[in-house]
Amino acid sequence: MKVAALQMVSGTSVAANLQRAESLLAQAAAQDARLAVLPEYFCLMGQSDTDKVRVREKPGSGPIQDFLADAARRHGLWIAGGTLPLESPDPNRVLNTTLVFNPAGELAARYDKMHLFAFQRGAERYAEADSITPGNQPVAFDCEGLRIGLTICYDLRFPELFRALSAPAAGPSQDGGSPLGGQRANASAEATRPCDLFLLPAAFTHTTGEKHWEVLLRARAIENLAYMVGCAQGGVHENGRRTWGHSMVIDPWGDVLAMQAEGDAVVTASIDRDRITRYRESLPALGHRIV
């Protein structure tokens, strides 16, 4: 199956960002991708953290969700909608959420970002907890014979989340629930097998991305003998923030199959189930866990 990471340099207008996302999705479909991944905050990189609260949507209803569902139907794609702001119990904060739509435009999975980024060095400061409520459930879904785990940006620094999605013995993973936002356990054999592919929409800062982005992506792929798609914001944004970019697809051996440094781009590569099987048979590390 061919996957596409759609790198963007999102701005302060939701309408303009959706228009650019539509163009990239059309390009991905024209290149025969089956799954397209948008970056974190694809719909809005605001002037302040409160801007995302202003455009938040109720689960199952809103222009951003309608755009994703409609685009999935029109292009015949699975679409992992980067992240968008959904209402949270705290009216001053949002959930930073990945929604996955199947080619029929139906919601297939939902993941609310669990780990919230915080960083300060000199005048550079980020504190996602000021405007985001964390999620609390790992999420994976099934897509054309692949088991796919959902993660977002800062989650990359927490290997235990990826290991939980690759460790059936730890208990069932969670499948995305209804458009109303519920998440349900699925204890079937298919739902509890290790993930073949992880998606990581991101908006890594240039400061941290330059040092850590690729090495962490490759580490998560190698540790779990799974493909990784890191789909990033990449460039200088209207609000003055600079993101690292370097969207890439990595195979289970840690090899980078495709990458784009900066700017809007469609980064594609093929996911090969047989390659996953071969690597896991030759190096059965997932079965060697002790703790």
Per-residue pLDDT at 183 exceeds 80: no
Comparing 178 with 270, the larger pLDDT belongs to 270
> Percent of the chain, pLDDT > 90?
85
Domains assigned to the chain: 2-288 (3.60.110.10)
Does the pLDDT value for residue 185 go beyond 70? no
Structure confidence at residue 125 as a pLDDT band (50, 70, 90): confident
CA distance to 81, 170, 283, per residue, from 222 (Å): 25, 20, 11
Q: Please say whether the beta carbons of 134 and 114 come within 8 A.
A: yes
Residues 6 or more apart whose Cβ sits within 8 Å of residue 288 = none
Q: What is the mean pLDDT of the chain?
A: 92
Instruction: Render pLDDT for 202-244 as a digit per residue (tens, 0 to 9).
Output: 999 999 999 999 999 999 999 999 999 999 999 999 999 999 9
- The alpha helices in 60-205, defined as continuous H runs, are 63-75, 159-165
* Residues with active-site annotation: 40, 113, 153
Q: What is the mean pLDDT of residues 112-137?
A: 92
pTM value is: 0.92
The H-or-E segment that residue 227 falls in is: strand 227-232
Mean pLDDT for 107-116 is 98
> Nearest to residue 140, comparing CAs of 158, 155, 159, 162?
162
Question: Tens digit of pLDDT for each residue in 74-92?
Answer: 999 999 999 999 999 999 9
Pick the closest to residue 198 from 97, 105, 111 (CA basis).
111
The whole-number pLDDT of residue 188 equals 44
